[in-house]
Amino acid sequence: MKDEGFGSGSLLLSFLLGGVVGAGMALLLAPQAGEETRRKIKELADDIKDKTNEYINETREKVTAAADEGRGYYDEKKSLVKAAIEAGKDAYEREKEKFAKG
Q: CA 47: distance to chain centroid?
A: 23
Q: What is the pLDDT of residue 5?
A: 58
Q: What does the alpha-carbon distance between residue 1 and residue 93 come to, in Å, rounded to a whole number?
A: 45
Average pLDDT over the chain, rounded to an integer: 82
Q: Confirm if 22 and 44 have CB atoms less than 8 A apart.
A: no
Q: Residues 6 or more apart from 30 whose CB is under 8 A from it?
A: 37
What are the tens digits of pLDDT across the range 30-77?
A: 776 778 878 887 888 888 889 888 888 988 999 999 999 988 888 888
Domain-wise residue ranges, the chain:
10-75
Q: What does the alpha-carbon distance between residue 47 and residue 53 come to, in Å, rounded to a whole number?
A: 10
Full-model pTM = 0.48
Q: What does the alpha-carbon distance between residue 50 and residue 40 come to, in Å, rounded to a whole number?
A: 15
